[in-house]
Amino acid sequence: MIQSSSTQSFAQGHGTKGGAQVAQTLAQKIISRAAGVPSVQVGQVLNCAVDLAMFHDSSGPRRLEPMLKELDAKIWDPQKVVLVMDHYVPERDEDSRKILQITRQVAKQWNLPHVIDSQGICHVVLPERGHLKPGMFCVGGDSHSPTGGAFGCYMFGIGATEMLGVVVTGEIWIQVPKTIEMNWTGRLGRGVMAKDMMLHMIAQRGLNGGEYQAMEFTGQTIQALSMRERMTLSNLSAEMGAQAGLVAADQVTLEYLREAGVQEAQLEGFEFWCSDLNSSQERECFNASELAPQVAAPHSPANTKPVDAYSDVAIDIAYIGACTGAKLDDLRAAAEVLKGQRIHASTRLMVAPASAKDQRIAQEEGVMQVLIDAGAEVLPNSCGACAGYGASFEENMTVISSTARNFKARMGPASVQVYLASPYTVAASSIRGRITDVREMLS
């Protein structure tokens, strides 16, 4: 388990200027600590110490190893690096075998102590193993790295060249972002999930609606969400172009992290990691009680409307997978719909649980058996079809999926039509063979 630097001494002297308190957002507080300064201002460019760097079999050793060798450089601190094998597992062809072979060989060569091999998707297994804690400043070699923000971390995705700089120096520069507060009040209706919330927000703001900014999700609706549902919010902030998607730590966060093995001493002072009153630079409000299940039509997550707009769309495949849509809560939602049902004769239901741990718990709860009895094909714990692997989507197929993106040719041939929805909606659609409002089944 990776240790983050202490937050208590920083919190005691934080945010003062000439004796006056300077209101700071959660993003600003984390960046301040990482930069070693009392407070920061939007637009300021700072060099920050990295608490954790995560990369996977696609973004990691096969790209970094040749560059490190050319520089005759080494990783600054192997204890602060986590390597996950999730994109090219299982080994389906010669290319994937070679990539995984390189990854495993280099992991041994670098003596990396934190290697997670074929146990699930990086954004899910990272917090499962207790690697993320409130107040940490982290980077990931994947665009959905903002998932870490659900734990009160500032975590964002970077490319291979930026990651090279991080693993050699342990630092990265950042321009302090504006914080956009996405405030939710009210109670989600039955059959509506965090995925629906995010698709709605993406539709409202567009793919670049939070470009290079930090988004912070607040309000009573957010506080009522489970940790895995909050992870979905932070994950999909990337689809709005946000650099980070944050949720302040609370008792829900602490309960999850304790279960993940994080020691109490590492959680002390968690209350500090929240935005000060009146610190956000922009605020948008939403009412959860008015939200219907949402569906994003091809070929953009921003092409979203309430589910009824697509009720005449027949589907070939219903896919429940990815870091966005196959965590334990997602599997439970699907099972709630599918219990005692069978999928439509013309439809395939494919389920790729996001982690081995979530699949094991779902098995113990009987959730996996419900899915199998309904006709689901269970796939490995990997990125799978979301990353373009592990699923046989053929020409001209129509797919409804719980994944994050439906860009053309991402999940198969360019002719494949992918609709995005929550696991509730995907499961309901698998039963009727067309896009379906799950509320009709849950009522």
Residue whose tokens read 């090279």: 164
pLDDT digits (tens, 9 = 90+) for 128-138: 999 999 999 99
pLDDT digits (tens, 9 = 90+) for 170-201: 999 999 999 999 999 999 999 999 999 999 99
HSE-up of residue 10 (Cα within 13 Å, Cβ side): 23
pLDDT digits (tens, 9 = 90+) for 365-418: 999 999 999 999 999 998 888 887 766 688 999 999 999 998 888 888 889 999
Please state the φ and ψ torsions of residue 286, each to the nearest 5 degrees.
-135, 150
- Domain assignment present for residue 331? The answer is yes
- Domain assignment present for residue 318? The answer is yes
Residues 123 and 40: their CA atoms lie apart, in Å, by 28
Letter string b/e over residues 286-322, b meaning 16 or more CB atoms within 10 A of that residue's CB? bebeebbbbbbbebbbbbbebbeebeebebbbbbbbb
CATH (domain of 383): 3.30.499.10
| Paired tokens of 60 | 């990691």
Letter string b/e over residues 95-133, b meaning 16 or more CB atoms within 10 A of that residue's CB? ebeebbebbbebbeebebebbbebbbbbbbbbbbbbbbb
By the 10 Å C-beta count (0-12 exposed, 13-18 middle, 19+ buried), 388 is classed as middle
pLDDT bracket for residue 11 (50, 70, 90):
low
Is residue 233 within 8 A of residue 198, CB to CB? The reply is yes
pLDDT bracket for residue 19 (50, 70, 90):
very low
- Domain assignment present for residue 362? The answer is yes
- Domain assignment present for residue 215? The answer is no
- Domain assignment present for residue 393? The answer is yes
- Domain assignment present for residue 60? The answer is no
**Packing angle, helices 328-338 and 356-365, rounded to 10:** 40
- Domain assignment present for residue 312? The answer is yes
DSSP labels, 201-247: HHHHH-TTTTTT-EEEEESHHHHTS-HHHHHHHHHHGGGGT-SEEE-
Cα dihedral: 104, 52, 326, 423 (round 10)? -150
- Domain assignment present for residue 194? The answer is no
DSSP run (H or E) holding 356? helix 356-365
Which residues form the domain of 301? 294-442
Into how many domains does the chain fold? 1
Q: Considering the entire predicted model, what is its pTM?
A: 0.94
